[in-house]
Structure 1
Amino acid sequence: MDLRQENVLLKNKLKAVQKGAELEQQPWEPSPKKQKIMTHGTATLFAGEKILVGLDSFKEIVNQSSTIINKTLLISKFIECKEIISLVIRPRQFGKTINLTMLRKFFSIPIHPDNKNCRYELFKDTKIMERSDVYNKYFCKYPVIFLSLKNNESCSTWSSMQTRLCQQLATLYNDHHYVYYQVSQKILNKSRFDKINSGKFKDGVTKDALLYLFKYLKDYHRNKCIVLIDEYDHPLEVAYQHQYYEEARGFFASLFGALLKGNNENLEKALLVGVSRVAKSGYLSELNNLKVFPMHHEVFANYFGFTENEIFMLLQHNGKENQLDDVRQWYNGYRAGNSLNLYNLWSINSFINEGNLKAHWIDTGGTKTIKDLLWNSTEDFKNNTSMLLKGYAINVRIMEDMDYNMLAQKSNIDNVLWTLLYYAGYLTKDKNDNLCIPNMEEQFSRFIMNSLSYYDVTDKMAETNYHVFIIGLFNQAYCRGYKLISNREAGTGRFDLKIEPTEKVNFKTGVFMEFKVLKNEKQNKKKLQDKANEALEQIKNKRYFSDLPKFTKQCVICGVAFQGKDVYIASEVLNSWQN
């Protein structure tokens, strides 16, 4: 090679390195941690100046001197897990993305060597640095493919989804552009690389895009790759909602099959995270080396969500440790493994920032499918929902795996619904493996109410739907110490709903409700009023209130009439009813 060729090669290599350094957003000098270290039991907290709600970048949280729980032992757990490909299923707001970005910063080889010092500062004094064996073998030693499949909600057609994926894959290629001039042309086809990097390539290229990148990185770094995929299931949820599910499923099966199946010569380990358990449903069905870890599995149990010890430290650092019992009552209840109770990050961080015990948890997506299914569910499902809203646990089947095609099969609809509600975080399992509502934050009851007010009600189970809606509406009464009782014999009949006081509540008022539904009639306000008054008289005539506790001071009776989204309530306060 002559001097001119050497200069060209050196120039190209420098361009690639500079390109990579820009992509790392290089702070050329390391940023020392400013957080103080707190410990409680086995948990460690880096106590910073503030808590950032919604930020999901490990690097940004640490560098902004924000408070962060030390979850770095997830790194060693991931390495030591015998499975090559691990899939972790958790509800939204459980720290999945933060953890993946942490793994990325630990494993990935810095493009500019000086950046290793910055990475070291990120992990300095963390638990994983006590594991010298892990640090010496894995820290900044592996090429990492990190792919986030979030933010596809607007993709209403398969074409728009493909366009979005082209952009995501182009970003990934741009992150690793440094290989362009260094990898042998026998391996790296520059024309293909340029097409993918442009974000305008066609379907046939995209299916193998990750496999090609795998090979480029292996050739450049002389080491196997680690793969991290965030929200692996989100595109399928969007595709199902917009009716291009089969096209999406086939495409992603090919994309991830090429990346992860039979690729041991290039793949060191892979971690996928998501909300729904659809891994084996044709999407990743050919991956025999994949292991699913749902919340009730012991492995990875304490690395997603906050544990009790971690909550104590967060409250203590923010001067709220005297509110621990209230926080438990409001936000605790997600059971992981055999005995671990977890809290979601969003609710706790929002409470600490705002100081208010209220419902902070929000579902950022994935509920439209469940809402649609609710209106096709059976009466058994609605009866079980009523039991949940009254504080009971129910024994129903959670599916080990599901396919979105099952959603159209009426014979499976209840099992599919319970499975979706469980994995989305609306429900959890108790110590007997029965489903129950996690806590007072009432995501489930609010979700049921919002869903059942979503459409006009015209089906034959309309009264059952309204019944569940009202129980959800009054679920807060149960949380405040009242009893919710429905469809029970009393007096000379069977009431629809009773809200009964207990001795511990301040306002010892009992409430009875009777529901009536107008069906197959034109909207008629007078008929609706008459129906409500008929329900009110039924309560009186059948003396449902005769079995209220003697300490009850007051009784409110309500006749409630529904038609579509219209409602009329006739009510009366009884101060004397026990004779």
Structure 2
Amino acid sequence: MLLPSGIEDFKDIIEGNYYYIDKTGLIGDLLRDGANVILITRPRRFGKSLNFSMIKYFFSKERDYSYLFKGLKIEKDPLALEYMNKYPVIHITFKDAKTSSWEETYDVLKSIISKEYDKHSYLLESEKLREHHKKYIVKILERRGEPVDYRESLYNLTYFLETHFGKKVILLIDEYDVPIESGYVNGYYEKVVDFMRGMLTAALKGNTSLFKGLLTGVYRVAKEDIFSGLNNLVIYTILDDFYSHYFGFTTEEVKKMLFDFNMEDRYEEIKEWYDGYSFGSAKSIYNPWSVIEFVRRKVAQAYWINTSGNDLIRELILKSPSHVKQKIEKLLSGEGLTEMIESTCALRDLRYENGSINESAMWGLFLFGGYLTPKSKKIDSTFGQWVCELFPPNKEVLAFYRTTIINWLKGFGFEYGKIGQLLEYLFQRDGKTFEREFSDILTKVASYHMFGDEAERVYQAFVLGMLSVLTERFEVKSERESGFGRYDVVIIDRKAPRAIIMEFKVSEGDPANDAQKALEQIESRKYEADLRDRGIENIVKAGIAFKGKSCSYRIA
């Protein structure tokens, strides 16, 4: 049996006899949900588009599609079967509405709407529609409409379909947030938000022609931005229990797929690379795109992360302040972060007026985008927001963080291979070579940064950034309590009983003297205590003082 790599049309998968993991139970659950308009957020390529295609074929009056569902779970749901092929359906996706300018994006949006109207061009022959309705349809088909015409286009199409069929309409809107995110990244956020707000509010708010309105996206964009006044909208994010196992693959589904393709012996490998997501009450969800590619190619590597739109997340990592980069390093070292999550985010509010990062909004984007997963969660009683313990879900996402940081380092002209060599200089207690090589690196870094009042944090974040790409070989820890204080950085070799303790100082006077003070701090506060408790005796203690583009060291 063939694997449906990149195929998002349910009909093509069933008719082509492709391997299909049955998610048809979603249809019955949606029908039993009393909400009239529902938004379900999930990371990209987690089955949203395929599920919407499935829903379209199930409800569509276009023709009898019941043969597509033979032998699937939905056949055992008598309530759902009463609704099969009974409704006109509008199915629209905005996944391609992302360009570098508003003018281009507006053209793409008009094209998307025109193509959906073309699917229903039979309305031009309808005896139940008036002539001015048909003239409007032709105007949209020929892309001659004014902005107000396109804002009202989805609402009008639901009205035309109800008038023609005498049945209320199902409206499916996939990837609603793609043009919004593109607008934020490319500088036309306000224009695209204004358009999308007008179109979606008209289509979904108080629309008597609507039976169900269903939307998907990655982010829960703030209501005041897009869904202003839309009181009938119910939102289910990855933190909610609803529909938790319909997007992504469960452990049982993955094990069955491996069995079906004679790959049972690869389970631990696939789990390490692609498991780790928690959606509501479902605690072990696999990335479906990557699982399919792994089974198809039989090689474990980063598949999803190289196809997903990472621009916004990458920008947030690279342009984040030093203390946020320190948190990224902790994630790479296998530590979790406990953070408050802003679940509804106006992208323009990612930064405050003074330019500083809104961390709760930023971590929310990481979480909902699939770059972090919650190991635990609770509602903060004071602020009414989720507080989550966050981790990278799996090896594939860790590879993305490392690659992003490596590219950041390359921006300073710093080669990845030098990082391990620098550590070896310290392990060998070759301080002179370390000082010479590291000072050369700092010369390049200083040309990019004005260190200012946070100099020590910037230096430390840069060192942690370098070390974070070596976390498969080295365990890297920072700002941990040990002995009688908190050390700056500890590096533990995973393959040999040896470690390095680093303490940083920013020198305003004599760097050599300040490096000695840093070393004395390691000694006096007994930072090696935890390491010795672990049986590590080969411990290098390095006091490092920075001054502008150079450093000084003392090693013991």
Aligned residue pairs total 498
Distance 1:268 1:492 in 2: 65
Name 2:328's counterpart in structure 1. Answer: 385
CA offsets 1:114-172 (integer angstroms, 9 cap, x no match): xx2xx22211000001113321x21111111111001123x222211111111111100
User: 1:535: Cα distance to partner?
Assistant: 7.5
User: 1:257: Cα distance to partner?
Assistant: 1.2
Name 1:394's counterpart in structure 2. Answer: 337
Name 2:499's counterpart in structure 1. Answer: 510
Name 1:151's counterpart in structure 2. Answer: 96
- Alignment of 1:285 with 2:239, yes or no, is no
**Which amino acid counterpart does residue 147 of structure 1 have in structure 2?**
I
From the superposition, tell whether residues 563 and 289 of structure 1 become closer, same or farther in structure 2 (CA, over 3 Å).
farther
Name 1:204's counterpart in structure 2. Answer: 148
From the superposition, tell whether residues 52 and 472 of structure 1 become closer, same or farther in structure 2 (CA, over 3 Å).
farther
Q: Which of 83, 86, 104 does residue 141 from structure 1 map onto?
A: 86
CA offsets 1:396-429 (integer angstroms, 9 cap, x no match): 1111311122123146611111111111111111
Aligned pairs for 1:331-346 (under 5 A) are 331-346=274-289
SS at match of 2:340: coil
Distance 2:399 2:542 in 1: 21
- Alignment of 1:84 with 2:40, yes or no, is no
- Alignment of 1:254 with 2:198, yes or no, is yes
Distance 1:322 1:567 in 2: 52
Name 1:326's counterpart in structure 2. Answer: 269
- Alignment of 1:180 with 2:121, yes or no, is no
Name 1:52's counterpart in structure 2. Answer: 4
Q: Which of 366, 376, 380 does residue 421 from structure 1 map onto?
A: 366
Name 1:404's counterpart in structure 2. Answer: 347
Name 1:473's counterpart in structure 2. Answer: 469
Name 1:34's counterpart in structure 2. Answer: none
Aligned pairs for 1:97-108 (under 5 A) are 97-108=49-60
- Alignment of 1:440 with 2:394, yes or no, is yes
**Which amino acid counterpart does residue 470 of structure 2 have in structure 1?**
F
From the superposition, tell whether residues 539 and 321 of structure 1 become closer, same or farther in structure 2 (CA, over 3 Å).
farther
Paired residues of 2:505 and 2:518 also in contact (CA < 8 A): no
Unaligned runs of 5+ in 2: 379-387, 412-447
**Which amino acid counterpart does residue 269 of structure 2 have in structure 1?**
D
Paired residues of 2:218 and 2:369 also in contact (CA < 8 A): yes
Distance 1:321 1:206 in 2: 51
Distance 2:506 2:301 in 1: 33
Distance 2:551 2:266 in 1: 41
From the superposition, tell whether residues 379 and 108 of structure 1 become closer, same or farther in structure 2 (CA, over 3 Å).
same
Aligned pairs for 1:122-137 (under 5 A) are 122-135=68-81, 137=82
- Alignment of 1:497 with 2:486, yes or no, is no
Name 1:295's counterpart in structure 2. Answer: 238
Distance 1:397 1:310 in 2: 32
SS at match of 2:97: coil
**Which amino acid counterpart does residue 128 of structure 1 have in structure 2?**
I
SS at match of 2:376: coil
From the superposition, tell whether residues 71 and 476 of structure 1 become closer, same or farther in structure 2 (CA, over 3 Å).
same
Distance 1:559 1:193 in 2: 74
Paired residues of 2:3 and 2:19 also in contact (CA < 8 A): yes
**Which amino acid counterpart does residue 156 of structure 1 have in structure 2?**
S
Distance 2:229 2:137 in 1: 27
TM-score w.r.t. length of structure 1: 0.76
Name 1:227's counterpart in structure 2. Answer: 171
Name 2:384's counterpart in structure 1. Answer: none
Task: Calculate percent identity across the aligned residue pairs.
Answer: 29
Root-mean-square deviation over aligned CA pairs: 3.6
CA offsets 1:76-115 (integer angstroms, 9 cap, x no match): 11111110011001111211111011111111112xx5xx
Distance 1:562 1:183 in 2: 81
Paired residues of 1:437 and 1:444 also in contact (CA < 8 A): no
Paired residues of 2:175 and 2:217 also in contact (CA < 8 A): yes
Distance 2:120 2:393 in 1: 45
Name 2:189's counterpart in structure 1. Answer: 245
Distance 2:312 2:160 in 1: 39
Distance 2:362 2:403 in 1: 16
User: 1:182: Cα distance to partner?
Assistant: 1.1
Paired residues of 1:214 and 1:225 also in contact (CA < 8 A): yes
From the superposition, tell whether residues 539 and 125 of structure 1 become closer, same or farther in structure 2 (CA, over 3 Å).
farther
Distance 2:46 2:495 in 1: 36
- Alignment of 1:61 with 2:13, yes or no, is yes
SS at match of 1:280: coil
From the superposition, tell whether residues 514 and 202 of structure 1 become closer, same or farther in structure 2 (CA, over 3 Å).
farther
Distance 1:233 1:362 in 2: 19
Unaligned runs of 5+ in 1: 1-48, 520-530
User: 1:514: Cα distance to partner?
Assistant: 6.5
**Which amino acid counterpart does residue 440 of structure 1 have in structure 2?**
N
Paired residues of 2:480 and 2:488 also in contact (CA < 8 A): yes
User: 1:217: Cα distance to partner?
Assistant: 0.8
Name 2:260's counterpart in structure 1. Answer: 317
Distance 2:12 2:545 in 1: 54
Paired residues of 1:91 and 1:424 also in contact (CA < 8 A): yes
From the superposition, tell whether residues 102 and 185 of structure 1 become closer, same or farther in structure 2 (CA, over 3 Å).
closer
From the superposition, tell whether residues 439 and 239 of structure 1 become closer, same or farther in structure 2 (CA, over 3 Å).
closer
Aligned pairs for 1:160-171 (under 5 A) are 160-171=104-115
Name 2:67's counterpart in structure 1. Answer: 121
Distance 2:224 2:550 in 1: 43
TM-score w.r.t. length of structure 2: 0.79
Distance 1:193 1:219 in 2: 14
Distance 1:335 1:213 in 2: 37
Distance 1:65 1:405 in 2: 45
User: 1:56: Cα distance to partner?
Assistant: 1.6
User: 1:201: Cα distance to partner?
Assistant: 2.8
User: 1:270: Cα distance to partner?
Assistant: 1.2
Name 1:308's counterpart in structure 2. Answer: 251
User: 1:464: Cα distance to partner?
Assistant: 4.0
Distance 1:73 1:473 in 2: 42
**Which amino acid counterpart does residue 34 of structure 2 have in structure 1?**
K
User: 1:490: Cα distance to partner?
Assistant: 7.2
Paired residues of 1:499 and 1:511 also in contact (CA < 8 A): yes
SS at match of 1:474: coil
From the superposition, tell whether residues 247 and 295 of structure 1 become closer, same or farther in structure 2 (CA, over 3 Å).
same
User: 1:193: Cα distance to partner?
Assistant: 1.4
User: 1:174: Cα distance to partner?
Assistant: 0.6
User: 1:391: Cα distance to partner?
Assistant: 2.2
Distance 2:516 2:29 in 1: 61
CA offsets 1:343-392 (integer angstroms, 9 cap, x no match): 11122112212223333331545433334344554555344333333323
Distance 2:67 2:161 in 1: 26
Distance 2:279 2:363 in 1: 17
Paired residues of 2:476 and 2:490 also in contact (CA < 8 A): yes
User: 1:310: Cα distance to partner?
Assistant: 0.7
Paired residues of 1:92 and 1:364 also in contact (CA < 8 A): no
